[in-house]
């Protein structure tokens, strides 16, 4: 079996709604973090350096208050030094400095302070740069991998999921992961000084330190409740703001309809409701935030009072120095701060968990077109004979689209497909480009089973022009050549001339070098169609498949298109979903599709004579041909 | 959405003028604002009690007096009082900011609804969204944070410096020199940050647009085997984003290193000169410690002021951009004469109508005159850009016509109340725009409380019934990205139903069949004929098969009427229309294009 799926095998049931659903990752998902490490691995060296630097910087940060309290106040001013107080050798260093440079000890302390401050600044900067550098690079790689994965998902995937939702995974969700990783980095930078400060405090006075630590559970509890209530409010604020913006955006996009429907007052009322809703949540959030805002600094200030009170009794019994009391007041902030930061990071953490899940869900989405194990090698030039043998197909097993469709197109033949909306015309041509998986032995190209040809090879031979042609960012020339080195500039111009596109291209200020925006807003619909023709002609496929556009095109442009189409199909097997009488009449044969089955097939005259569906359609399109004839 | 250039600078005078405009929005909440400012002042006094009492306590300890219960008690009381007052003050100020931004949003929405094609020819929707989102939030931040600036500057200077001067005037003066440096460094880096984050936003929006547009065209990309090229192209956009992101990180990180280092200059001054004074015995040790606690209070204003000056600058630009919209008069004035009939019967007269778009050299319409009697159906044909839509828009005053150029039932359209005109003249625009709402709400958009039967009736006439039956939620099906995406033809039929449901005396259809197949179009046209026998219909089309049903056909080219008459008359005339008919019936010959062009001349 050369292909993964045979006729009998049912396609995997997929819940596409899951892809669009909001995943709310409320739990800490360790496996997700582990998976994320895969993208950070290439930068593990830099991350290691960053970690070492943060430890160093944190230690320096703790040294600065020690210079003020233990070195200057205790040692230099008070002249007392307690040997069991960890001063990181600063007193000795200071003495050595003042002796060897012959400076007063106070000046030496100042020099020490300044030096440490400057080293801290550089080390801190180096730490942050190595950290964000690695994180940015890792996530850049992740984003590219994600894009690569999405770029190769089949049409069946994009039929079912909203492009906007897929896009936010590439942008916002990866963004949230950045916040997460940077947040984790920040936490390390908070906890190291915490532990160093804690060790120093414990060494100076254990009971006081333990007493201060007792405030932590209180702080943690308040922070927890604060974060919990704001998490809900934040979500509401975000949601109402986004509704607010959507309402405005839509109202502006459809303003003309709003005005001709006289709905301004009604819409303003609706907007007022949303605006009021948003303000109500914002106010609730403001209340909670302001209540919490001054809480932890107040707690730290109260702690200062307690330290002084306790410290006074200790200084009285000479078990503590004044400098040590001051050191406690300086360190108490470092003790409380990590809890506050941890609180700040939880919201980001939870949001990032959900984002991570969404990203990995997309990366794990393994829907694809099955490729043959041993793809058939195609000759340099195919004849272009296409055979449909009892083709049955359904997107959803409950709703068959094509039922036993059989027909053959001879090499070089031009076949027009007509039929009512929903008859399966588009599906037929989509299968020919293998945009969907179907069973083996149903469609043959020059006698080769289509499923035995790799899609990449196939699509180079089958040129498909869809109704919704995509314009790539770049110049007109880029859009015709599409990176194919065989399409030289001369060839591109030739192709454009052949399909009547040269006139309008040459009229553009920069000719073939004119930049096009994606979606091609700077071209009219007719011009876009002609450009799409030039593109497919330049790639010179053996088989042309075209879904004719039925857009707002005036007769003059339509004539240009018809004329171009005639040249495009010359000497090429062509299958066209036709909407215009002209196209149909020029076809060698017409296939009438009705409810997924071949209703009629034959040339224009034969079908008219048969008085079937084709004759009816034709009559509708040009009911009073005779009357028109008469008046001429 | 790409943020506009919000970091442009204004000269001080116009900056203040731009901010002064905001006073009408702020004044209603002045009570809350002044209460907040007053409370902040009181909070500062409580705040400064902590270092002051600490100084007293340490001084006592240094002089072997360990009875400091009173001071500790005072600290705790001051902290509690400060907590209450500062919370109250912050909440008050934030509330004012929220109310102002609420009012600004309301005003913007209301004003934008009164604008039309001229305005939106000048400004893009994205630009307006930036004003609604970024500019309003800048002003909100200015009020909630800018107030704090005033408070910090005034109170910190008075309270902080006041107490320091009391402790040691000389040391206080020595602390002053680094302050301007801190101020300018903060201002400089916050400007750099603003620029960097703007670039990040731009690149992020590029990334989003790139992805979105790429995925929208995924079928073509795969059909043309362009996946690898597109991945390479994405990689460039991705790298560009990573680069600016890194740059932003660098600026933030540098600031995180150097701002505390600059502030440390103050600590060094206290350490050296203060330490010297203590050693000399001229400064008590407690006051020395209090200096370290107070210096933060004094440095903070200069640190923050730099940021807030930038905030003022940016908010001034934001304010000017908002008032650009607020001060713009409505494009269409509703000024009814009062003597028009309450029900339009459907006689339309266009009399010497000319129109030139603002800034255009050539008129879009030149001296057009024709009449439509009640019950008539007329088709307008012409090339893309010949002025058809411009003409139709003037009937419902989406563009204001010259006075006395467009008449309905013997009155110029200007004389009708705007809402009556638009209620009784139903127009279906060329662009089939649907709102991201349930289908039902889209179909009965003008009158949300219509009976369900009416909606089904219109849907049936527009040949939409089978389509709706195929939807899981029928009429309640949500339209758009989060719901069902309709095909071009389905969209056109839905907007057509939205027009038909109004059963208006005058119906205007601007090329609404272009994406509908001929069979369906034929069905809809016969429905129109049946339903609108007594009413007037004006429609634009490119197809002869559509036009031939009409009582009369008007050919417009380059803004003037080229031919007019019934299908038969025009065929007999052997002009442009006859040629069009032949070409559409038989197909093009080599020289047809030339002949069509010749016919126009």
Tokens of B228: 């690898």
Number of CB atoms found within 10 A of residue B42's CB: 16
CB contacts of A121 in chain B (<8 Å) are 257-258, 260-261
- Scan residues 3-62 of B and list those with Cβ closer than 8 Å to A: 50, 54, 57-58, 60-62
Q: Distance (Å, rounded) from C-alpha A499 to C-alpha A491?
A: 13
Query: Phi and psi (nearest 5°) for A402?
Result: -110, 135
Contact yes or no for A560/A500 (Cβ under 8 A):
yes
Q: How far is CA A438 from CA A83, A432, B502, in A?
A: 83, 10, 47
Q: What's the gap in Å between the CA of A216 and the closest CA on chain B?
A: 18
Q: What is the pLDDT of residues A520-578, one digit of tens each?
A: 556 777 788 888 888 888 888 889 888 876 655 677 777 778 888 888 888 889 998 88
Contact partners, residue A618, CB within 8 Å, separation at least 6: A581, A608
Which is nearest to B500 in space by CA: B522, B476, B524, B481? B524
Contact yes or no for B252/B190 (Cβ under 8 A):
no
CB contacts of B587 in chain A (<8 Å) are 562, 581-582, 585-586
Which is nearest to B402 in space by CA: B452, B363, B440, B351? B351
B288, closest residue in chain A (CA to CA): A73
DSSP state of A548: -
- B278 SS3 class: helix
Overall domain count for chain A: 3
* Same domain, yes or no: B577 and B529: no
Overall domain count for chain B: 3
Q: What is the mean pLDDT of chain A?
A: 84
- Residues of the domain holding A513: 387-631
Q: What's the gap in Å between the CA of A237 and the closest CA on chain B?
A: 12
**CB contact (8 A) between residue B398 and residue A624:** no
* Same domain, yes or no: B237 and B367: no
* Same domain, yes or no: B498 and B581: no
* Same domain, yes or no: B43 and B124: yes
* Same domain, yes or no: B518 and B369: yes
B519, closest residue in chain A (CA to CA): A620
Whether residue A446 is contained in a domain is answered as yes
Whole-number pLDDT of residue A210: 93
**CA-angle at A467, arms to A462 and A469, nearest 5°:** 80
Q: Distance (Å, rounded) from C-alpha B258 to C-alpha B499?
A: 65
Number of CB atoms found within 10 A of residue B529's CB: 12
Q: Residues A524, A530, A536, A537: what is their CA dihedral angle, to the nearest 10 degrees?
A: -160
B278, closest residue in chain A (CA to CA): A77
Q: Output the DSSP codes for B125-176.
A: HHHHHHIIIIIHHHHHHIIIIIHHHHHIIIIIIIIIIHHHHHH-HHHHHHHS
> Which pTM value belongs to this model?
0.79
A68, closest residue in chain B (CA to CA): B271
Q: Distance (Å, rounded) from C-alpha B245 to C-alpha B196?
A: 8
Is the pLDDT confidence value at A487 over 90?
A: no
**Residue B158 in contact with partner chain A when CB distance is under 8 A:** no
DSSP H or E stretch at residue A390:
strand A386-396
Q: What's the gap in Å between the CA of B512 and the closest CA on chain A?
A: 9
CB contacts of A167 in chain B (<8 Å) are 208, 211-212, 215
Q: What is the pLDDT of residues A504-513, one digit of tens each?
A: 888 877 888 8
Whole-number pLDDT of residue A5: 42
Spell out, as residue ranges, where chain B has pLDDT lower than 50.
1-7, 590, 600-601
Number of CB atoms found within 10 A of residue B28's CB: 12
Q: Distance (Å, rounded) from C-alpha A548 to C-alpha B419?
A: 41
* Same domain, yes or no: A84 and A177: yes
Q: What's the gap in Å between the CA of B294 and the closest CA on chain A?
A: 13
B87, closest residue in chain A (CA to CA): A290
Q: Distance (Å, rounded) from C-alpha B425 to C-alpha B443?
A: 16
Domain of A107: which CATH number?
1.20.1560.10
Whole-number pLDDT of residue A12: 61
CB contacts of B572 in chain A (<8 Å) are 631
Q: Distance (Å, rounded) from C-alpha B433 to C-alpha A34?
A: 46
* Same domain, yes or no: A140 and A235: no
Whether residue A121 is contained in a domain is answered as yes
Q: How far is CA A162 from CA A21, A74, A101, in A?
A: 11, 68, 72
* Same domain, yes or no: A166 and A222: no
Instruction: Catalogue the E-assigned strands of A410-485.
Output: 414-418, 443-445, 448-449, 462-465, 474-475
Whole-number pLDDT of residue B309: 79
Whole-number pLDDT of residue A550: 61
**CA-angle at B504, arms to B499 and B509, nearest 5°:** 45
**CB contact (8 A) between residue A560 and residue B593:** yes
**Residue B571 in contact with partner chain A when CB distance is under 8 A:** yes
* Same domain, yes or no: A590 and A576: yes
Tokens 């205007």 locate to: B508
Contact yes or no for B156/B51 (Cβ under 8 A):
no
Which is nearest to A562 in space by CA: A585, A543, A536? A585
Q: pLDDT-derived band of residue A24, with 50, 70 and 90 as boundaries? A: low
* Same domain, yes or no: A290 and A355: no
Whole-number pLDDT of residue B596: 53
DSSP H or E stretch at residue B406:
strand B406-408
Q: Residues B546, B548, B552, B555: what is their CA dihedral angle, to the nearest 10 degrees?
A: 70
Could you give the ipTM of this predicted complex?
A: 0.84
The runs of H, that is alpha helices, within B462-565 are: 465-469, 488-500, 518-531, 544-547
Strand partners, B365: B355
In chain A, the largest separation of any two C-alpha atoms, in whole Å, equals: 125
Whether residue A458 is contained in a domain is answered as yes
Q: Distance (Å, rounded) from C-alpha B582 to C-alpha A443?
A: 40
Contact yes or no for A304/A332 (Cβ under 8 A):
yes
CB contacts of A464 in chain B (<8 Å) are 223
Is the pLDDT confidence value at A354 over 50?
A: yes
**Residue B507 in contact with partner chain A when CB distance is under 8 A:** no
* Same domain, yes or no: A222 and A264: yes
Q: Distance (Å, rounded) from C-alpha B583 to C-alpha B577?
A: 10
* Same domain, yes or no: A506 and A475: yes
Whole-number pLDDT of residue A621: 61
Whether residue A74 is contained in a domain is answered as yes
Tokens 């008539």 locate to: B376
* Same domain, yes or no: B477 and B580: no
* Same domain, yes or no: B107 and B244: yes
- Residues of the domain holding B508: 348-565
CB contacts of B595 in chain A (<8 Å) are none
* Same domain, yes or no: A605 and A532: yes
Tokens 């009892």 locate to: A390
Whole-number pLDDT of residue A517: 64
Q: Output the DSSP codes for A22-74.
A: PP---S--HHHHHHHHHHHGGGHHHHHHHHHHHHHHHHHHHHHHHIIIIIIII
CB contacts of B58 in chain A (<8 Å) are 308, 322, 325-326
Q: Which of A109, A164, A556 sits opposite B271 (nearest CB)?
A: A109
Q: Which of A77, A433, A468 sits opposite B278 (nearest CB)?
A: A77
Q: What is the pLDDT of residues A400-409, one digit of tens each?
A: 888 889 999 9
- A312 SS3 class: helix
Q: pLDDT-derived band of residue A626, with 50, 70 and 90 as boundaries? A: very low
**Residue B522 in contact with partner chain A when CB distance is under 8 A:** yes
Neighbour-count burial of B111, counting CB atoms closer than 10 A to its CB (0-12 exposed, 13-18 middle, 19+ buried): middle
Whether residue B6 is contained in a domain is answered as no
The runs of H, that is alpha helices, within B364-505 are: 388-395, 418-424, 439-443, 452-461, 465-469, 488-500
Separation of CA B131 from chain center: 5
Q: pLDDT-derived band of residue A158, with 50, 70 and 90 as boundaries? A: confident
* Same domain, yes or no: A150 and A66: yes
Q: Provide the terminal-to-terminal Cα distance of chain B, rounded to the nearest Å.
A: 45
* Same domain, yes or no: B455 and B572: no
Whether residue A337 is contained in a domain is answered as no
* Same domain, yes or no: B84 and B142: yes
**CB contact (8 A) between residue A275 and residue B105:** yes
Which is nearest to A563 in space by CA: B580, B589, B599? B589
Is the pLDDT confidence value at A373 over 80?
A: yes
Whether residue B342 is contained in a domain is answered as no
**Disruptive mutation site among B47, B203, B215 for chain A (greatest number of A CBs within 10 Å):** B215
* Same domain, yes or no: A431 and A315: no
Domain of B353: which CATH number?
3.40.50.300
* Same domain, yes or no: A528 and A450: yes
Q: Output the DSSP codes for A330-380.
A: HHHHHHHHHHHHHHHHHHHHHHHHHHHHHHHHHHH----PPPPSSPPPPPS
């Amino acid at each position: 079996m050369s292909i993964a799926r045979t006729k009998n095998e049912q396609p995997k049931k997929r819940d596409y709604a899951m892809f669009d659903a909001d995943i709310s990752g409320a739990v800490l998902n360790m496996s997700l973090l582990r998976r994320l490490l895969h993208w950070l691995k290439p930068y593990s060296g830099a991350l290691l350096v960053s970690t070492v630097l943060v430890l160093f910087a944190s230690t320096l940060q703790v040294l600065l208050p020690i210079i003020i309290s233990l070195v200057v106040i205790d040692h230099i001013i008070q002249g007392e030094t307690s040997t069991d107080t960890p001063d990181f050798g600063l007193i000795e260093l200071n003495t050595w400095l003042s002796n060897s440079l012959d400076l007063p000890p106070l000046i030496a302390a100042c020099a020490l302070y300044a030096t440490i401050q400057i080293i801290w600044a550089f080390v801190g900067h180096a730490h942050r740069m190595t950290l964000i550098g690695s994180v940015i690079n890792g996530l850049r790689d992740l984003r590219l991998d994600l894009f690569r994965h999405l770029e190769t998902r089949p049409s069946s995937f994009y039929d079912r999921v909203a492009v906007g939702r897929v896009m936010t995974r590439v942008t916002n969700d990866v963004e949230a992961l950045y916040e997460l990783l940077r947040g984790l980095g920040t936490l390390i930078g908070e906890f190291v000084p915490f532990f160093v400060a804690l060790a120093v405090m414990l060494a100076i006075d254990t009971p006081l330190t333990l007493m201060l630590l007792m405030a932590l559970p209180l702080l943690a509890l308040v922070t927890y409740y604060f974060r919990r209530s704001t998490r809900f409010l934040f979500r509401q604020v975000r949601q109402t703001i986004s509704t607010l913006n959507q309402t405005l955006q839509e109202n502006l996009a459809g303003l003309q309809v709003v005005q001709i429907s006289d709905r301004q007052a009604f819409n303003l009322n609706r907007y007022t409701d949303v605006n009021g809703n948003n303000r109500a949540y914002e106010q609730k959030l403001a209340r909670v935030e302001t209540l919490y805002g001054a809480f932890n600094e107040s707690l730290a200030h109260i702690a200062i009072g307690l330290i002084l009170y306790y410290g006074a009794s200790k200084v009285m019994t000479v078990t503590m120095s004044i400098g040590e009391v001051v050191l406690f007041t300086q360190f108490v902030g470092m003790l409380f701060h990590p809890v506050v930061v941890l609180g700040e990071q939880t919201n980001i953490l939870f949001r990032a968990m959900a984002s991570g899940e969404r990203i990995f869900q997309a990366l794990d989405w393994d829907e694809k077109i099955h490729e043959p194990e041993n793809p058939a090698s195609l000759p340099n030039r195919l004849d272009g004979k296409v055979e449909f043998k009892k083709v049955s197909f359904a997107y959803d097993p409950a709703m068959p689209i094509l039922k036993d469709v059989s027909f053959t197109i001879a090499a070089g033949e031009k076949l027009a497909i007509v039929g009512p909306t929903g008859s399966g015309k588009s599906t037929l041509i989509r299968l020919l480009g293998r945009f969907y998986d179907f069973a083996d032995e149903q469609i043959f190209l020059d006698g080769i089973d289509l499923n035995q040809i790799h899609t990449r090879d196939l699509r180079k031979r089958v040129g498909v022009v869809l109704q919704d042609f995509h314009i790539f960012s770049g110049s007109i020339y880029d859009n015709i050549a599409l990176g194919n080195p065989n399409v030289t500039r001369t060839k591109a111009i030739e192709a454009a001339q052949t399909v009547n596109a040269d006139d309008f291209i040459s009229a553009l200020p920069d000719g073939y070098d004119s930049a096009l925006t994606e979606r091609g807003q700077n071209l009219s619909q007719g011009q876009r169609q002609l450009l799409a023709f030039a593109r497919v002609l330049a790639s010179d496929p053996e088989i042309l498949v075209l879904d004719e556009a039925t857009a707002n095109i005036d007769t003059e442009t339509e004539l240009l298109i018809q004329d171009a189409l005639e040249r495009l199909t010359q000497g090429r097997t062509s299958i066209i979903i036709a909407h215009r009488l002209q196209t149909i009449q020029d076809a060698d044969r017409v296939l009438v599709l009705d409810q997924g089955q071949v209703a009629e097939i034959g040339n224009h005259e034969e079908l008219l004579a048969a008085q079937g569906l084709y004759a009816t359609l034709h009559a509708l399109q040009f009911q009073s041909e005779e009357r028109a004839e008469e008046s001429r | 959405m790409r943020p506009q250039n919000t970091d442009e600078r204004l000269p001080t005078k116009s900056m203040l003028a731009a901010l002064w405009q905001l006073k009408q929005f702020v004044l209603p909440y002045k009570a809350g604002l002044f209460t907040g400012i007053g409370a902040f002042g009181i909070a500062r006094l409580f705040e400064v009690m902590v270092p002051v009492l600490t100084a007293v306590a340490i001084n006592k300890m240094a002089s072997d007096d360990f009875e400091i219960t009173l001071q500790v008690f005072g600290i705790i009381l001051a902290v509690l009082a400060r907590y209450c007052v500062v919370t109250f003050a912050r909440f008050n100020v934030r509330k004012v900011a929220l109310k102002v931004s609420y009012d600004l949003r309301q005003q913007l929405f209301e004003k934008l609804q009164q604008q039309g094609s001229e305005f939106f020819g000048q400004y893009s929707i994205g630009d307006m969204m930036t004003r609604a989102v970024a500019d309003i939030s800048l002003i909100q931040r200015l009020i909630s944070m800018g107030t704090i600036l005033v408070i910090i500057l005034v109170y910190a200077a008075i309270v902080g410096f006041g107490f320091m001067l009391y402790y040691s005037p000389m040391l206080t003066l020595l602390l002053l020199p680094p302050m301007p440096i801190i101020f300018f460094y903060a201002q400089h880096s916050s400007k750099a940050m603003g620029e960097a984050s703007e670039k990040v936003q731009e690149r992020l929006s590029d990334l989003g647009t790139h992805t979105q547009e790429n995925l929208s065209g995924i079928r073509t990309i795969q059909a043309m085997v362009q996946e690898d090229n597109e991945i390479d192209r994405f990689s460039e956009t991705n790298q560009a984003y990573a680069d600016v992101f890194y740059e932003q990180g660098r600026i933030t990180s540098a600031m995180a290193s150097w701002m505390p280092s600059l502030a440390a200059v103050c600590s060094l001054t206290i350490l050296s000169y203060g330490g010297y004074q203590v050693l000399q015995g001229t400064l008590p040790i407690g006051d020395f410690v209090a200096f370290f606690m107070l210096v933060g209070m004094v440095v903070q204003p200069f640190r923050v002021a730099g940021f807030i000056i930038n905030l003022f600058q940016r908010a001034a630009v934001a304010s000017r951009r908002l008032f650009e919209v607020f001060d713009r008069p409505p494009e269409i004035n509703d000024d009814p004469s009062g003597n028009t009939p309450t029900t339009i019967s459907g006689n339309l007269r266009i009399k010497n109508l000319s129109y030139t778009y603002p800034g255009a050299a050539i008129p879009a319409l030149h001296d057009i005159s024709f009449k439509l009697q009640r019950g008539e159906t007329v088709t307008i044909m012409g090339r893309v850009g010949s002025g058809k839509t411009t003409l139709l828009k003037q009937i419902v005053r989406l563009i204001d016509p010259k006075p006395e150029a467009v008449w309905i039932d013997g009155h110029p359209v200007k004389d009708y109340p705007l809402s009556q005109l638009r209620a009784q003249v139903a127009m279906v625009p060329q662009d089939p725009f649907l709102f991201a709402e349930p289908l039902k709400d889209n179909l009965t958009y003008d009158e949300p409380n219509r009976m369900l039967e009416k909606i089904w009736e219109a849907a049936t006439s527009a040949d939409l019934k089978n389509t709706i039956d195929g939807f899981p939620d029928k009429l309640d099906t949500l339209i758009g990205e989060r719901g069902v995406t309709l095909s071009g033809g389905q969209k056109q039929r839905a907007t057509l139903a939205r027009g038909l449901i109004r059963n208006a005396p005058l119906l205007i259809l601007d090329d609404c069949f272009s994406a509908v197949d001929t069979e369906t179009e034929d069905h809809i046209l016969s429905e129109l004929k049946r339903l609108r026998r007594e009413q007037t219909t004006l429609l634009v089309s490119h197809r002869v098969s559509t036009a031939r049903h009409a009582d009369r056909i008007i050919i417009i080219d380059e803004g003037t009427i080229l031919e007019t008459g019934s299908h038969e008359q025009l065929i007999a005339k052997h002009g442009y229309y006859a040629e069009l008919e032949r070409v559409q019936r038989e197909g093009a010959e080599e020289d047809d294009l030339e002949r069509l062009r010749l016919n126009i001349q």
